[in-house]
Structure 1
Amino acid sequence: MTTRDKGAAFETAALTTLEKAGLTLIARNWQCRYGEIDLVMREADTVVFVEVRYRVRTGDGLSSIGPQKQAKLVRAAQMFLAERPALARQPCRFDTVAFSRTDDNAGCDWQRAAFDAF
């Protein structure tokens, strides 16, 4: 299995987790010049930008998303919203869904509002 295949599998697992929690998919793997947003979801009236991470060791997903990556995600989200004025008027947040593998068990850690845009 390639790295891209593994990434897609964990994104699918994250999507399933979020949909079971009541979120709905707006976009998947949305790309622009600033990078890619793994998942864009809606929870009630909130637009949720989701970064999916896989970690071989335990640890939260946020620790693997440094300030530079956060800034890229914010710029990409701004471009996404600029193309969709109706969504731009909605509240937004940035979540992480991180998977870690220990003892052959994959753990899922979903952090809502993992970081602020400003």
Structure 2
Amino acid sequence: MEPMRGGWAEEAALAHLLAQGYRLLGRNRRTPFGEVDLLLEKDGVYVVVEVKQRRTGRFGTPLEAITPRKVARLLACARHLLGRDDLPVRLEAVLVHGTPEAFRLEHLPLEV
């Protein structure tokens, strides 16, 4: 079976987040609303992270791929995975620009 094309970007994002003190709870978790790339916890807050990678800007930036609709789906996914609406949840993105050989990361909050 061929590896996922963006798997390296998710690995790079996860390594960055773990180095920042996040704790991994799940990866590539499917729900009826979509998939969560990374589910983590930091300082008592559950964090859903969307990882987006682009080699070049030819088809837009990684951030442009995270639409308001996608953000709403991520929040629905988080609520489904956690099974409750009253738990503290934060949505974040790790944007990966480049290739496995040469890339840079951008880590930012997503507005709900």
- Which structure's residues are more often helix, by fraction? 1
What is the TM-score of this pair, normalised by structure 1? 0.80
Query: Shift in Å at residue 60 of structure 1?
Result: 5.8
Cα displacement (A) at 1:6? 2.4
* Residue aligning to 1:19: 18
Q: Does structure 2 conserve the Cα–Cα contact (< 8 Å) formed by 1:25 and 1:40?
A: yes
Q: Say if 2:43 is the partner of 1:47.
A: no
Runs of 4+ in 1 over 2 A off after TM superposition: 56-63
Identity %: 30
CA drift of 1:89 comes to 4.5
Cα distance between partner residues in 1 of 2:24 and 2:62: 21
Answering whether residue 51 of structure 2 is matched by residue 37 of structure 1, we say no
Indicate whether 1:72 and 2:80 are aligned. Answer: no
Unmatched segments (≥5 aa) in structure 1: none
Q: Quick check: 1:115 aligned with 2:111?
A: yes
TM, length-normalised to structure 2: 0.83
Structure 2 unmatched ranges of 5 or more: none
CA contact (8 A) 1:37 1:49 kept: yes
Distance 1:77 1:62 in 2: 20
* 1:105 equivalent in structure 2: 102
SS in 1 for 2:110: strand
Q: In the aligned structure 2, how far is the partner of 1:115 from the partner of 1:54?
A: 19
The residue type paired with residue 57 of structure 1 is T
Higher mean C-alpha deviation, range 56-65 or range 23-32: 56-65
